[in-house]
Amino acid sequence: MNATSIAAAEQRIEWDRPARGRVAMFGLIAAEAAIFTIFVVAYLFYVGKSLTGPLPKDVLSVPIFYTICLLSNSLTIHLAAKSLRQGSVRRFGILWLATIALGAAFLYGTATEWHRLIYQEGLTISTNLFGTTYYSLVGLHGFHVIAGLVALSMVMVFTFLGNVRPEHAERVDVLSLYWHFVDTVWIVVFTVVYVIGR
């Protein structure tokens, strides 16, 4: 017996399967979500358990502007992917650049906040439990923003070199899934750190 005779049935079967890139990205997002869940649980469990100051209510200020920057990101990347699907590479490039700029602005916001906390408030990762959980959780999210920005920038470089074409829309879509995830995580982190934990 051989595989050829098994293939005879092929013509009779309609066959449709999910795209592997999309499935794999959802798998990665599930894994990342599990990691974040543990950090969020740790943050919530340790709220109010610091034995020494500074405490969140004394030093944290709500980063509304930079949060808007990061969240509006999801809109620009969605429109960018849509433009590419419709065949407008130029509009895609502009919106993609805007996405990167907004993401970078968010990182700048985090950097200034950390600088203030470290040099003015004297809060580091080893100061107290709040410092440990705060820098770990926000830092873990920031790390994901950086990873996302590296990926987005690579696509940007390819766009400048003229190598991004409408047929790549599916891949851009998969990357944008990751970016939406990073934004969604920020909503959780924001709620936990700046609303519940303060």
Partner 1 sequence: MSTDAIAIPRRELASSPIVTRLHEWVTTVDHKRLGILYIIYALVFLLIGGIEATVIRIQLIRPHNDFVSPQVFNRMFTMHGTTMIFFVVMPVLFGFANYLIPLMIGARDMAFPRLNAFSFWMTAFGGLLLYFSLVGANGLYGAGNAPDVGWFAYAPLTSRTFSVGHSTDFWTLALLVSGFGSIGTAINIIATILCMRCPGMTLAKMPLFAWLNLVMAGLVILAVSPLTAAQIMLLVDRYLGGHFFDTQAGGSAVMWMHFFWIFGHPEVYVLILPAFAFASEIIPVFSRKPIFGYSVMVGATVAIGFISMSVWAHHMFTVGMGANVNTFFVISTMAIAVPTGIKIFNWLATMWGGKIEFKTPMLFCIAFLFQFLAAGLTGVMLSVAPFNWQLGNSYFVIAHFHYVIVGGILFALFGAFYYWFPKMSGKMYSETLGKLHFWLFLIGFHLTFDFMHIPGLLGMPRRIYTYEPGRGWDTWNLIVTIGVFFQAAGILVFLGNLLWSNFRGEAAGSDPWDAWTLEWSTTSPPPEYNFSTIPAVESRRPLWDLKHPDDPDSKYE
Gap between the Cα atoms of 89 and 151, Å rounded: 18
Gap between the Cα atoms of 40 and 72, Å rounded: 23
Over the window 25 to 64, marking each residue x when it contacts partner 1 by CB under 8 A and - when it does not, the resulting string is --xx-xxx-xxxxxx--x--xx--xxxx------------
Toward partner 1, which CB reaches closer, 14 or 90? 14
Specify whether the CB–CB gap between 166 and 60 falls below 8 A. Answer: no
Under rule CB under 8 A, which residues in 108-167 are in contact with partner 1? 125-126, 128-129, 132-133, 136, 140
Toward partner 1, which CB reaches closer, 5 or 120? 5
Contact status: 2 vs partner 1 (CB under 8 A): yes
Specify whether the CB–CB gap between 164 and 84 falls below 8 A. Answer: yes
Toward partner 1, which CB reaches closer, 28 or 89? 28
Q: In the bound complex, what is the minimum distance in angstroms from residue 137's beta carbon to partner 1? A: 10
Q: In the bound complex, what is the minimum distance in angstroms from residue 74's beta carbon to partner 1? A: 23
What type of residue is 16?
D
Specify whether the CB–CB gap between 84 and 168 falls below 8 A. Answer: yes
The alpha-helical segments, DSSP class H, found in 7-88 are 20-46, 56-59, 64-86
Measured in whole angstroms, the distance separating CA 140 from the mean position of its chain's CA atoms is 10
Residues that bind partner 1 (CB under 8 A): 1-10, 13, 15, 17-20, 23-24, 27-28, 30-32, 34-39, 42, 45-46, 49-52, 125-126, 128-129, 132-133, 136, 140
